[in-house]
Amino acid sequence: MSEHTVGVIEGELGSFLRSRREGVSPADVGLPIGTRRRTPGLRRAELATLAGVSVDYLIRLEQGRDVHPSTQVLGALAAALQLSEDDRDHLRILAAITSGAELCPEPIAAARTVRPTVQAMLDQFEPAPAFVLNHLADLLAWTDGYDRLARPLGILDGAEPNLVWFTFADDRARAAYPDWDDIADEQVANLHELRQCDNNTDTLAARLAQAAGSEFTDRWERRPVGRKRTGIKAISHPAVGVLRLAFETLELPDADRQRLVVYLPADAATEAGLNRLAGRRPGALRSVSAG
């Protein structure tokens, strides 16, 4: 593994801790807000006191100069920062990866295809919209149902469509996603949680920073976590209006952490809209609420 790649991995633990320190207000942890604060969130000295560590040690952690903190130190920092369960899970993953950074494989190009068995399974979801993507959010394969949903929005434009690129770098995304801010947070959370030993994610992030500016970089530096593997997503389609889609995410056993996502209509109006797109009779694709 190259020294650059190891450095990126080791720096992520400190960057994550710093992002969480900057996201906690003094009032959240029972400290007076005071005046003349030049930085957001807690000062390093305040967090160090709460966690029972020295300021110098906290600086070394945040700057990536100490990458092997004990579980006791991480636990104290997590408690002082009042981290959520998702944040704690992510912190554990970062600590494990950082400790074994030298064992990470050399980065390779993310797969652009799916296994024949995955494609055969995907075909069984017709006429429902369903697709497979890798950890970089490259769309690798999809059903005709997803093609009818996504192509008019511009999501499938280009030789190598990418969901996060469309979200941030394509002006049409805000019209396609009524809840654009939530979708944007979700996409960045996916990138952070699935990056692990791969610095290809950082290459994509650098390109997105140039293309989308602060809309992306502010989220990237904030480091949201807590991937949504199920829920309801709204998509506005030019032919049938706003669709409310219940989604389920299936993790596939692939080196580049591929995911299969299936959309189902979440209400009767969406059921009717998807059936219209498919040219099928009413009831051919049933909403989950209708059983």
**How many CB atoms lie under 10 A from the CB of residue 250?**
14
pLDDT(198) > 80: no
Q: Which of 9-23, 71-85, 276-290 has the lowest mean pLDDT?
A: 276-290
Instruction: Tell which residue, 221, 206, 224, has the closest CA to residue 40.
Output: 221
pLDDT in tens, 136-183: 999 999 999 999 999 999 999 999 999 999 999 999 999 999 999 999
Q: Assess contact for 240 and 260: CB atoms under 8 A.
A: no
Residue 232, strand partner residues: 246
Distance CA 39, CA 82 (A): 19
Q: What pLDDT score was predicted for residue 192?
A: 81
Q: Do the two domains 3-103 and 116-290 of this chain adopt the same fold?
A: no
Q: Which tokens go with 281?
A: 């009779």
Fold of 116-290: Beta-Lactamase (3.30.450)
List the CATH code of the domain at 3-103.
Answer: 1.10.260.40
Q: Out of 28-42, 82-96, 253-267, give the one with best mean pLDDT.
A: 253-267
What are the domain boundaries of the chain? 3-103, 116-290
Distance CA 265, CA 274 (A): 8
251-255: long-range pairs with CB below 8 Å, 24+ = 252/118, 252/132, 254/111, 254/115, 254/134, 255/111
Query: pTM of the entire structure?
Result: 0.70
Q: What is the DSSP string of 106-121?
A: PP-PPP-S--HHHHHH
Q: Which residue has the higher pLDDT, 106 or 290?
A: 106
